[in-house]
Structure 1
Amino acid sequence: MGMLHFKNDKLPDTKALLRIHDGHIDITIVWNPSDSTFERCFFSEHVFYADDPDRKKYIYDLPRQIWFRDSQGSVDLLGCKVRSCKEKYGAGANGIIDAEYAVFDASVGEDYSRVNAVRTSLDGLREWLGISSVLVSAPIVDSNNRVKEREYTLKCPADSIGTGIPAFDFVPHWAVSVSGDTTELHDLAYMESDSHEVKRWQTHLENHRAMRDLLRISSWTEHLLSIEAVSREDDPLWVESGIPYQERWCKVAELYPNAHSYARRLNYLIEYFDFCNGDLSSWFSLRDAYARGIDPIVSLFSMRGASIEAWVVQLSIGFEALGYQLLQEKGISKNKAGASPFISRLRAIASELGDDWPFNLEQWELEMTESYNSIKHANRAPVDRLQSLNAWRKGILVFRSWVALRLGVSKDQLLFRLQLDSLIHPYVRIEQI
């Protein structure tokens, strides 16, 4: 239980209960029905108030940003909106507010919707970088070959690792957690972006999401991105004398956080060491240059529960745009490229893969075109869904391989990695297993 602060003279500070549980961030406030100050924020959409017909005297829309403070500190709540409210005659009224983000230890009144720095975690990043902050010694055993001693050293391999992108770095980190008889060592790697000017979170996160997309494409596995902490230069930590002494990193809790962990090591078509001196700028440039083709394909990760037909169409939308762009690069005019059939656009992409491919590219072009056209045109005969699914599977391999070759992965290395990729194996009907 604590106090809510709205930074608005028309909304007084009020008692509230903040709960962060099961992926939810909610705030409950209670008010006396005789005081309509907060009632108007919850019921105003359907109520006309005679004492304020022009809606200028009171506040009727809940602020998107609210501050909470209790004995444990302060929290900046962002993306606030009304969830529900109820009033019971003679017992008062209460309302529940949902927040998208909770920024812990943020000074009350400081606007953390704009920050100077953002720190995120990305599933699989540390493994992809090939780094570790946990050094393990060889075990010391007794005469019965039982392990008696093993030493763990926690040491970051570097303060930060450059990416080739200004003001965007990888930061190795480690942590220790203790629960009863269990002690866990956490081997971590964060991504950090910073700016001299305060920026919205979404602006900071552009580079973070680009890295997530690279790992998604490389492994064709979801890599979940979570915001860990944010910082403002004008809100440092202070000593009692009023002198700032350290940058303040405020931990962040998200609505519906992305909790995920890997139970196995992933195989990547594109590895960190494929980039010269760890300079990832070639990926950022490729992603920007071919965004109209790449973005629709990567968005397949938000369509996990969709139908086979939806997957084929979404992939084809990306191929339409990518092939159109590649045809123009090959010297075809804009008008002719725009009028080119779908199969010609697929050939423009497949032609960059060369010969000796794990599957017949010409056959794939025909199957992909047939599947796409049968879905797009109602007058076409439907294609067997297994054929469509395998055309989609091969299409994903073509796209990922095209990205890998464009980023400098050698053909021989790519072919070797493809043999270890889960999508190299065709889908079959259950009765064929």
Structure 2
Amino acid sequence: MPNELLTGTRRTGDFFDNDPDTPTTRVALERSDEGISIEVGWSTRESPYARWFVGKTGLELPPAQPPEPKDAPKRVLFHDSHGSVLLVGCYPRGFHANIWGPGTGRLWARAAIMGVEEIVAFDEPHGLQSEISGLREWLGISSWARTQDIDLRESRVQVSIDSVENPMITVGTVHGLTLQFRPGRGIKIEQGEDRVVLNDLVRCTTESASAQQWDAHLQVHKGVRDLLVLSRWWEESCVPVRATRNDDPMRTLDGRTHGIQWREVVVPNDERKKPPRTYRQHLIPYSELGESGVASWLALRDDFARALDPVISSIDLPGATPFTRLAHTGPGLEALGYLLAVRDGMTERKAGQQPLNERLNRILDNVGECLPFDGPTWADDTVRVYNGVKHANRAAPDIVDILNVWRQAVLVVRAWVALELGADQTELTRRLAEDRQAIPYEKRTS
């Protein structure tokens, strides 16, 4: 078996935590639907491993004066015959112990870095790469070119697939990180040699001369993902796949270093969102936005996070009722109206005192005449329906009315973002009219 960590994998090997006080022990590394974890055991509760778990619970076991609790390490190294795995972002959760001391506990990890043979601070990488669903299609590039030659006389079709070199796309510096989109490709032979899979890749990459927190990198990657979500209103995924550290360079057998080395990253949730089955037009195409437009979006997202976060995240609420979706999105609308008022010169105090209908009208002032429905009617309906959802002393609105107000609210925010990023109003009006969110929900008639 290669050095892999697929879901359902369980490997037994040695465990290192860079603490001279902890004894050598054998552990089980497992990846399940719950996440990535190491199961570590102990014989007595005086063991430093026991203190990672039992000492945090307040459980009183003899002797009367238990050892001081000990913090679990944030990074640990696992090694077996298949290779080494560095776990980062570790935390203890769950244990089983006998009253006299023997027990086992689980140390969970945020991510696994494959092939690292020393405990390196990969929770603060110098570079991180992720795969964002829909990014390659949005950029309109491919690393493969397909040609087809049809010979009618011989009834023969000859297909050729050639690799294509695409230049790297550099967006610029965001929060001290250099953001790039790196095209790539891969060839994988499956099922012996009967199946060959060609991968067409674009990786979102952030790099910095100084090490940055994992979340600092990921915040930028997820910002790009959120732009794609707003552009065609489809749930997209963002999965970290590679990381690099300056103190983990590529080395040859002679001990010499040869530049940076990108290590494979495994995270607990690496589900890739599937593309839509039917065509969905982008409201904000990259061909019009360009690198500078992506940078402008990330800045806009920072300035209006209180407004945009609730709207964007309302797409990822599995099993949520219409009430929940509108209750989730409503505060975003309120925040957008408030922030626009402050941007227009109103004091924060006065802007905070504005009623909802005035905030919605301010949003409409910024959106203009490009909406595929009547703006003032939407504002009135939103006030009525949203207040009906919020306040128990008012009549509960109809489910279909709630869905339509939520749908239109999201479309208004998407239109506002497109205009803020420089979209042509005439062209945007056409796209909005053709967008799936322009189609209203209708009540069933029996």
TM-score, scaled relative to structure 1 = 0.91
Tell me which residue corresponds to 1:227: 240
Partner SS state of residue 292, structure 1: helix
Could you tell me how far apart the structure 1 residues matched to 2:341 and 2:103 are? 64
Matched, 1:150 2:162: no
Which one of the candidate residues 82, 90, 99 is aligned to 1:72?
82
Could you tell me how far apart the structure 1 residues matched to 2:96 and 2:112 are? 24
Tell me which residue corresponds to 2:208: 195
Matched, 1:428 2:442: yes
Partner SS state of residue 2, structure 1: strand
Give the direction of change, closer, same or farther, for the CA distance of 1:328–1:42 in structure 2 (3 Å limit): closer
Give the direction of change, closer, same or farther, for the CA distance of 1:403–1:49 in structure 2 (3 Å limit): same
Give the direction of change, closer, same or farther, for the CA distance of 1:356–1:410 in structure 2 (3 Å limit): closer
Could you tell me how far apart the structure 1 residues matched to 2:118 and 2:286 are? 41
Conserved 8 A contact 1:219-1:268: yes
Tell me which residue corresponds to 1:169: 180
RMSD: 2.6
Could you tell me how far apart the structure 1 residues matched to 2:209 and 2:144 are? 33
Q: C-alpha displacement at 1:290, in angstroms? A: 1.9
Q: C-alpha displacement at 1:127, in angstroms? A: 0.3
Counterparts of 1:293-308 in structure 2, within 5 Å, are 293-308=307-322
Determine what percentage of the aligned residue pairs are the same residue: 30
Could you tell me how far apart the structure 2 residues matched to 1:383 and 1:263 are? 31
Partner SS state of residue 199, structure 1: coil
Q: C-alpha displacement at 1:133, in angstroms? A: 0.3
Give the direction of change, closer, same or farther, for the CA distance of 1:188–1:266 in structure 2 (3 Å limit): farther
Tell me which residue corresponds to 1:249: 262
Could you tell me how far apart the structure 2 residues matched to 1:320 and 1:430 are? 31
Which one of the candidate residues 427, 437, 441 is aligned to 1:413?
427
Partner SS state of residue 212, structure 2: strand
Matched, 1:20 2:20: no
Q: Deviations over 1:218-245 (max 9, x none)?
A: 1111111000011001111212222101
Could you tell me how far apart the structure 1 residues matched to 2:97 and 2:305 are? 50
Partner SS state of residue 189, structure 1: strand
Could you tell me how far apart the structure 2 residues matched to 1:7 and 1:398 are? 53
Of 174-183 and 261-270, deviating more is 261-270
Conserved 8 A contact 1:136-1:151: yes
Of 11-20 and 259-268, deviating more is 259-268
Could you tell me how far apart the structure 1 residues matched to 2:119 and 2:209 are? 21
Q: Deviations over 1:199-226 (max 9, x none)?
A: 1110112211111111111111111100
Counterparts of 1:178-189 in structure 2, within 5 Å, are 178-180=189-191, 181-189=194-202
Conserved 8 A contact 1:75-1:108: no
Matched, 1:43 2:57: no
Counterparts of 1:383-422 in structure 2, within 5 Å, are 383-422=397-436
Give the direction of change, closer, same or farther, for the CA distance of 1:95–1:290 in structure 2 (3 Å limit): closer
Conserved 8 A contact 2:36-2:110: yes
Q: C-alpha displacement at 1:142, in angstroms? A: 5.3
Tell me which residue corresponds to 1:367: 381
User: Residue type matched to 2:170 in 1?
Assistant: G
Conserved 8 A contact 1:87-1:93: yes
Q: C-alpha displacement at 1:367, in angstroms? A: 0.4
Counterparts of 1:90-105 in structure 2, within 5 Å, are 93-105=103-115
Could you tell me how far apart the structure 2 residues matched to 1:171 and 1:33 are? 51
Partner SS state of residue 185, structure 2: strand
Conserved 8 A contact 1:312-1:371: no
Q: C-alpha displacement at 1:88, in angstroms? A: 7.5
Q: C-alpha displacement at 1:123, in angstroms? A: 0.4
Q: Deviations over 1:28-57 (max 9, x none)?
A: 33444597443333333244466693734x
Partner SS state of residue 241, structure 1: coil
Matched, 1:138 2:148: yes
Q: Deviations over 1:392-414 (max 9, x none)?
A: 11111111001101111111211
Could you tell me how far apart the structure 1 residues matched to 2:217 and 2:286 are? 22
Could you tell me how far apart the structure 1 residues matched to 2:295 and 2:50 are? 52
Q: C-alpha displacement at 1:261, in angstroms? A: 2.1
Give the direction of change, closer, same or farther, for the CA distance of 1:35–1:398 in structure 2 (3 Å limit): closer
Give the direction of change, closer, same or farther, for the CA distance of 1:326–1:84 in structure 2 (3 Å limit): closer
Conserved 8 A contact 2:61-2:99: no
Conserved 8 A contact 2:235-2:273: no
Could you tell me how far apart the structure 1 residues matched to 2:280 and 2:435 are? 9
Could you tell me how far apart the structure 2 residues matched to 1:189 and 1:40 are? 44
Matched, 1:9 2:20: yes
User: Residue type matched to 1:116 in 2?
Assistant: H
Tell me which residue corresponds to 1:262: 275
Q: C-alpha displacement at 1:262, in angstroms? A: 1.5
Could you tell me how far apart the structure 2 residues matched to 1:337 and 1:42 are? 49
Could you tell me how far apart the structure 1 residues matched to 2:207 and 2:118 are? 22
Of 186-195 and 253-262, deviating more is 253-262
TM-score, scaled relative to structure 2 = 0.88
Conserved 8 A contact 1:316-1:372: yes
Q: C-alpha displacement at 1:384, in angstroms? A: 1.6
Q: C-alpha displacement at 1:13, in angstroms? A: 2.5
Q: How many equivalent pairs are there?
A: 428
User: Residue type matched to 1:163 in 2?
Assistant: V
Q: Deviations over 1:242-293 (max 9, x none)?
A: 2101311111111132232215343210010122565422212221222222
Could you tell me how far apart the structure 1 residues matched to 2:109 and 2:172 are? 35
Which one of the candidate residues 96, 118, 131 is aligned to 1:121?
131
Counterparts of 1:287-326 in structure 2, within 5 Å, are 287-326=301-340
Matched, 1:283 2:291: no
Conserved 8 A contact 1:4-1:14: yes
Conserved 8 A contact 2:337-2:360: yes
Give the direction of change, closer, same or farther, for the CA distance of 1:49–1:22 in structure 2 (3 Å limit): closer
Could you tell me how far apart the structure 1 residues matched to 2:273 and 2:346 are? 45
User: Residue type matched to 1:55 in 2?
Assistant: P
Could you tell me how far apart the structure 1 residues matched to 2:391 and 2:265 are? 47
Could you tell me how far apart the structure 2 residues matched to 1:382 and 1:348 are? 27
User: Residue type matched to 1:194 in 2?
Assistant: E
Q: C-alpha displacement at 1:299, in angstroms? A: 2.5
